[in-house]
Amino acid sequence: MDEKDMGTDLARVLVTEDEINAKLRELAEQIDRDYEGRDVLLVGVLKGAVMVMADLARALHSPITMDWMAVSSYGSGTKSSGVVRILKDLDTDIADRHILVVEDIIDSGLTLSWMLANLASRGPASLEVCAFFRKPEAAKVDIPVKYLGFDIPNEFVVGYGLDYAERYRNLPFVGTLAEHVYSGGKPA
Ligand SMILES: O=P(O)(O)OC[C@H]1O[C@H](OP(=O)(O)OP(=O)(O)O)[C@H](O)[C@@H]1O
Ligand SMILES: Nc1nc2[nH]cnc2c(=O)[nH]1
């Protein structure tokens, strides 16, 4: 799926497929260097992180393992409340493991803040974050991000794993939606 398939749904592209691929290579190099000789478990946050997890894992040369968590915030519509419920927990015991959480986007930061506290309580050897997109202007809590893809404006974005009503996750780029599709969180 690309821009041509979007019809009039798209307002504008914020990060192109080429920019995404270049950034993945850059982050993978850093991660390979930093974790050399250590066994790292990538923890992906479903569902948004599926794309970045799959592409990052393939760009890495280090022997990694992967696990997934699904969480749901009790927020309404597109807003996260910070109150989080685990829908799917890890299959792995992470005590004494090196954990790199892979997240598609940090918006308010509330989801990841809760997740990091939860994972830290399980006694990992180390716990770091790779976030592919971040909205600095939307931050309600400060999240220590070791590996960052892109800071983006405080707008609702779709593509590269990010959905609107479960659509658009398979766009290979990230962009904003036209007003007739997205009007502040409610299906237009
Ligand atoms: O920083 P925050 O304001 O907490 O928002 C970020 C979270 O929101 C998105 O998940 P979403 O709840 O939309 O679920 P999804 O990944 O299944 O689409 C995204 O994947 C993050 O997990
Ligand atoms: N699709 C999507 N999900 C989000 N979750 C938090 N921020 C966003 C965003 O901008 N787009």
pLDDT in tens, 98-108: 999 999 999 99
Q: Report the SS3 class of residue 53.
A: helix
Is the Cα torsion angle 19, 161, 152, 68 positive or negative in sign?
negative
Instruction: Flag the least confident range among 1-15, 49-63, 113-127, 136-150.
Output: 1-15
Catalytic residue among 107, 142, 151, 163: 107
Ligand 1, CB within 6 Å, residue ranges = 45-48, 73, 80, 103-112, 163
The neighbour count for residue 47, using CB atoms within 10 Å, is: 15
pLDDT digits (tens, 9 = 90+) for 41-95: 999 999 999 999 999 999 999 999 999 999 987 664 556 666 789 999 999 999 9
Ordered by start, the domain boundaries in the chain are 18-152
107 is a catalytic site residue: yes
Q: Best mutation site among 72, 141, 154, 156 for ligand 2, i.e. most ligand atoms within 8 A of its Cβ?
A: 156
Judge: domain 18-152, CATH 1.20.120.1690.
no
Question: Does the complex come out with an ipTM higher than 0.90?
Answer: yes
Query: How high is the pLDDT of residue 9?
Result: 86
